[in-house]
Amino acid sequence: MNRVLQTTGQNFFVETVYDVPPLTPDEICVRAVMTGVCRSDVDMMTGNFGPLPLSMQGHEGLGRVVSIGANIKDVEPGDYVATRGEPAYADCYNVRKNEYVRVPEAHPRYILEPVACGINVVTQSIREIAERSGPGKRLLIIGSGFLAWIAYNTLLLNHVDIDITVQGGSNAKLWNQAGMTLTNEVADTYDVVIDLGSNDSVFTKDVVNNEALIVFGAQKMITTDFSNLLWKACTMIFPSPRTNKFYCCMKDAEQWITNGDINIDSFWTKGYNRDTEWQQAFSDALTRPAGYSRGYIYWTDHGY
């Protein structure tokens, strides 16, 4: 029986059955090894988002290739792959070409989808950011969590010449080790704002210069107006993992993690056994106990 974890938005996940469709020539079939518990999964569980169909439950996947379609040339059975295909909460599932990347080992650092999301926040906006870079130009990252860390490192790896400020209160030790001091309040204006927060400070506070770029990389549910941003002729971009270039972000994530250019190990704070602890995985992701950053579910019955 091929199991899957599913929510219908009633504040819990349940275990049910998922029938894997026949493999097409441009797909691979993988057995799950690890799957990250994303904030969107929690929002789906509580009814604040979706819920998505059964075939789309879980998207931060890491699995081992079981079989490949006739047109697949870049992986073989037995290889480990990071996937952005769904349902990654299933024991076994199919993944389309360009929605997986081969990785060297089964380790939570190679759950690449959330890393690629942080990379995409910058790379989908890189041309507009570059237009506003140079001596005296300033960039603000609102948020100091996982996505902010990835976005910051992506800016460095793309050699963007701009002064960076990070507003937030979490992971201060990590940021300090990187030579960055977090700020709680923003008293200046910026040429670029990467907004990874949930509040409306970009709209209600004077934080942007004329013709500034604002990159919205986090879901918001706010009531506001755009008058200040209209008056200052700002440009707004909404990066999405549904872009056709997201595969390139997955590839960059694998390369940078393997080369040690980005270290994310401290963010994966807990793994949960698929057979005995999966309920706790979603509970902790919702309540976020002390020391919790990101959790993942791991499978133990496949000998990995």
**Rounded (10°) CA dihedral 174, 177, 180, 184:** 40
133 and 183: one domain? yes
230 and 269: one domain? no
Number of structural domains, the chain? 2
Would you state the structure tokens that stand for residue 163, as one six-digit string?
Answer: 């002064």
Domain that holds residue 144: 118-237
CATH number at residue 204: 3.40.50.720
Residue 46 lies in a domain: yes
Residue 206 lies in a domain: yes
Residue 214 lies in a domain: yes
20 and 77: one domain? yes
96 and 131: one domain? no
31 and 92: one domain? yes
175-188, pLDDT tens digit by residue? Answer: 999 999 999 988 89
Whether the Cβ atoms of residue 241 and residue 116 lie closer than 8 Å to each other: yes
Q: How far apart are CA 16 and CA 2, in angstroms?
A: 9
Whether the Cβ atoms of residue 111 and residue 88 lie closer than 8 Å to each other: no
Selection from 122, 173, 125, 166 nearest residue 143 by Cα: 166
Residue 75 lies in a domain: yes
Residue 86 lies in a domain: yes
Quote the pLDDT of residue 104. Answer: 97
132 and 101: one domain? no
Quote the pLDDT of residue 301. Answer: 66
165 and 125: one domain? yes
173 and 74: one domain? no
Residue 220 lies in a domain: yes
User: What are the angstrom distances between the C-alpha of 252 and each of 16, 82, 201?
Assistant: 35, 12, 31
CATH number at residue 277: 3.90.180.10
Q: Tell me, what amino acid is at 301? A: D
Per-residue pLDDT of the chain (304 residues; tens, 9 = 90+): 999 999 999 999 999 999 999 999 999 999 999 999 999 999 999 998 888 999 999 999 999 999 999 999 999 999 999 999 899 999 999 999 999 999 999 999 999 999 999 999 999 999 999 999 999 999 999 999 999 999 999 999 999 999 999 999 999 999 999 999 999 988 899 999 999 998 888 998 999 999 999 999 987 778 888 899 999 999 999 999 989 899 999 999 999 999 999 999 999 999 999 999 999 999 999 999 999 999 999 999 654 3
100 and 127: one domain? no
Q: Environment class of residue 286 by beta-carbon count within 10 Å: exposed (0-12), middle (13-18) or buried (19+)?
A: middle
Residue 154 lies in a domain: yes
130 and 101: one domain? no
Q: Is the pTM of this model over 0.85?
A: yes
